[in-house]
Amino acid sequence: MATTTHAPQQDGATERYDVVIIGAGVSGMYALHHLRGMGLSVRAYDGAPTVGGTWWHNRYPGARVDGPSAPLYGYTFSAELVKEWDWTETQSSQGEVLAYLEHVADRFDLRRDIQLETWVEDARYDEATQRWTVDTSTGLCVSARFLVCAVGALSTPNAPDLPGIDDFEGECVHTGSWPQEPVSFAGKRVGVIGTGSSGIQAIPEIAKEALHVTVFQRTPQYTVPARNRPLAPEELAAVRDNWGDVRAGMLAPPPPDAPLPMMQGNGRSAFDETPEQRQALYEALWEQGTLAFVFGNYGELLVNEEINREVCAFLQGKIREIVRDPETADKLMPDHFYGTKRPILDDGYYDTYNRENVTLVDLRQDPIEGMTQVGVRTATGEHPIDVLVLATGFDAISGSMLRLDPRGRGGARLKEKWKSHFHSYLGLMVSDFPNLFMIHGPGTPGVLYLMPLGAELETEWIANCIRHMHEQGMGAVEATHEAELDWDREVNAIANRTLFPKTDSWYTGANIEGKPRHFAVHLGGSGYFHRIAEIADEGYEGLVFHAGPPRNG
Ligand code: NA7
């Protein structure tokens, strides 16, 4: 199957591979494992000093998986791996996920094909040779037939433009690129800007240590208890002993009558139950915590305004119950549809505002004007701080591809192509960018599916496409413009049946000034993977293959 030998070839100063992977996080590591297993020569590059991607960079206090409970946030491709890794908590901590990924890198001998502390700075396609040339921060120039961008959906930090930030004499850290050395908050006055998943995980932890914490909140958020707890050995054993069924369940297509494929809910309709029964369900789900609050809820939750408003009112009631000061509770009251921003899980977030050493500033009433030497200046005055924590999120989903800004056929730039819309085909390919594949790109379920499993399935699709090309003697593949437009219609048709587009969020690009607004996530859940498999089985409709490769290519 290999189009070259397994080892790289040298071409003057240029190393040549079949595949270059950008990123050695969850997606890049699996892509390396799988594509190398096909006999291709593969090299992965990552700017960090170790593997793990997002789990290396997001090492802020309180960082943990905010999605499915362990062991579902893990790779599924190896039953042996599932058997040998002992997850210790239901919501795995950042440290444990990173340790797991380090273990995977060793277990599958990935490190020998990963070059760390190396950023890919430029990538350009040459139509004549049907190859990508990649320049790195270490001065390497590498040539590859295929470029697999495993750059992460949440890996380009977004930092606000704060006038006077250079004058600030304290320390400034971002949750998405946390320093390698622990940051000490003891005896310090800390300011936190941002109350998304990261801020809401970090604030209770920082408040336990700091002298004082001032939270600068732009948009109040709903959050549900994570109810993190040790994972019992019998729970792990139950998954391991039934691994085949568990995995098959994760892959099963959504029922055709589900109100929303990615969120089928508990199988009951809210409209078949009395208001009392519905309140009892919300209460039980709150007690259970975790993402069960979404996935165990009624299937109408994310598609029906009336039911969503009822759930919002329930959660607003919880905020009033927990937060003792009514004025602070008022400031914390969210007003968007629940679940249309990323659902958040917390450990004592609302209760943190009952602490004497925590103050909440509502930026909608009292906006930040800038930084001074000693603190944050808002419209009403100065808030002295020693450490500023930016929990201000990411240029999500498309941001890291835009940062890379590859050059496709004839020098076409991705930034130009995506100036007003993030067109892609299947979320995996972009027209005018032959032989370039993305994992978790805009138009995939990405951040709204199990990220490791999604990465496996997308990689396998890419691998099958490469295998198909080899069998057919093809040198290049790309999506057509028409196929991209059709895909966009499909993504939007599902999204428009839901409440998601009604809210400003990073799913729609609204968190970044000047970014095109549109909903960039495929809400098909596991149905998406059945859909792309069907497209492959039926002969790759929407793709154009070009003969090749040229001799010695
Ligand atoms: P998010 O969810 O994008 O949250 C960022 C927060 O920062 C959010 O509250 C933003 O308010 C706020 N923000 C962003 N820019 C500003 C400025 N300029 N001024 C004030 N406040 C601002 O990112 P996270 O890192 O919390 O979560 C991403 C995670 O989702 C990921 O790591 C996974 O854990 C899941 P806004 O809501 O935009 O008004």
Q: Is the CB of 392 within 6 Å of ligand 1? A: yes
Give the distance (Å) from ligand 1 centre to CA of residue 509.
12
Compute the distance between CA of residue 455 and CA of residue 155 in angstroms, rounded to an integer. 15
Average the pLDDT over 49-62 and give the result.
98
Q: 366 and 221 share a domain? A: yes
pLDDT at position 2, please? 44
Nearest protein Cα to ligand 1, atom 10: 194
Residues 373 and 461 in one domain: no
Q: Which of 9, 21, 41, 46 is nearest to 138 (CA)?
A: 46
Give the pLDDT of residue 72.
87
Give yes or no for residue 66 CB within 6 A of ligand 1: yes
CA-wise closest residue to 346 among 303, 315, 307, 379: 315
For residue 532, how far is its CA from the centre of ligand 1 (angstroms)? 31
Q: What percent of the chain stands above pLDDT 70? A: 97
Which H or E element spans position 272? none
**Is residue 59 domain-resident?**
no
Say if 368 falls within a structural domain: yes
Instruction: Determine whether the shortest distance from the Cβ of 153 to ligand 1 is under 6 A.
Output: no
For ligand 1, mutation pick of 174, 198, 294, 376 (most atoms within 8 Å of CB):
198
**Top mutation candidate among 57, 174, 511 for ligand 1, by most atoms within 8 Å of CB:** 511
pLDDT at res. 51? 98
Q: Say whether both 428 and 487 belong to one domain.
A: yes
**What's the confidence (pLDDT) of residue 262?**
87
DSSP 374: S
Q: Which of 336, 339, 334 is nearest to 317 (CA)?
A: 334
Question: What one-letter code names the amino acid at 166?
Answer: D
Q: Are residues 209 and 334 in the same domain?
A: yes
Band of the pLDDT at 258, cuts 50, 70, 90?
confident
Instruction: Specify the residue with its C-alpha closest to ligand 1, atom 33.
Output: 197
Give me the domain span that covers residue 489.
Answer: 9-51+110-156+395-547
**Taking 60 as the threshold, does the pLDDT of residue 12 lie above it?**
no
Q: What is the average pLDDT value for the chain, to the nearest integer?
A: 95
- Tens of pLDDT, residue by residue over 62-87, are 999 988 888 889 999 999 999 999 99
Tell me: the pLDDT tens digits for 431-468?
Answer: 999 999 999 999 999 999 999 999 999 999 999 999 99
* Pair (372, 463) in one structural domain: no
Last residue of a domain, one of 345, 371, 390: 390
Structural tokens at position 519? 């909903």
Q: Quick one: 492 and 529 in the same domain?
A: yes
CA distance 173 to 60: 9
CB atoms within 10 A of CB 64: 22
Q: Which band of pLDDT confidence, cut at 50, 70 and 90, is reported for residue 543?
A: very high
In a domain, 422, yes or no: yes
User: Ligand 1 center to residue 397 CA distance, Å?
Assistant: 14
DSSP class of 73: S
Could you tell me if 468 and 416 lie in one domain? yes
Is any atom of ligand 1 closer than 6 Å to the C-beta of 154? Answer: yes
Question: Is 391's C-beta closer than 6 angstroms to any atom of ligand 1?
Answer: yes
Inform me whether the pLDDT recorded for 6 exceeds 70: no
Domain final residue pick, 349, 366, 390: 390
CA of 97 to the centre of ligand 1 (A): 22
Q: Please answer whether residues 123 and 359 qualify as being in contact, where contact means their C-beta atoms are separated by less than 8 angstroms.
A: no
Burial 208-239 (b: 16+ CB within 10 A, else e): ebbebbbbbbbbbbbbbbbbbeebeeeebeeb
Mean pLDDT of 409-438: 97
Q: Same domain for 473 and 537?
A: yes
pLDDT of residue 406: 98
How many angstroms does the Cα of residue 448 sit away from the middle of ligand 1? 17
Residues 383 and 403 in one domain: no
Residue 293 Cα, ligand 1 centroid: separation in angstroms? 21
pLDDT at 4: 43
When comparing pLDDT for 400 and 257, which is higher?
Answer: 400
Ligand 1, atom 35, residue with closest C-alpha:
197
User: Is a pLDDT exceeding 80 seen at residue 53?
Assistant: yes
Tell whether 69 is covered by a domain.
no
Alpha-carbon span 92 to 82, nearest angstrom: 15
Last residue of a domain, one of 362, 390, 418: 390
Q: What is the pTM of this model?
A: 0.96
For the record, the structure tokens of 274 come out as 């009395």
Pocket test for ligand 1, best of 200, 392, 507 (most atoms within 8 A of CB): 392
Residue closest to 20 by CA, chosen among 137, 139, 115, 107: 115
Averaged pLDDT, 115-139: 97
Total tally of structural domains belonging to the chain: 2
Average pLDDT for residues 379-405, to the nearest whole number?
Answer: 97
Ligand 1 within 6 A of 370 CB? no
90 within ligand 1 shell (Cβ under 6 A): no
Query: Considering only 125-139, 173-187, 258-272, 471-485, which range has the smallest mean pLDDT?
Result: 258-272
Assess contact for 220 and 331: CB atoms under 8 A.
yes
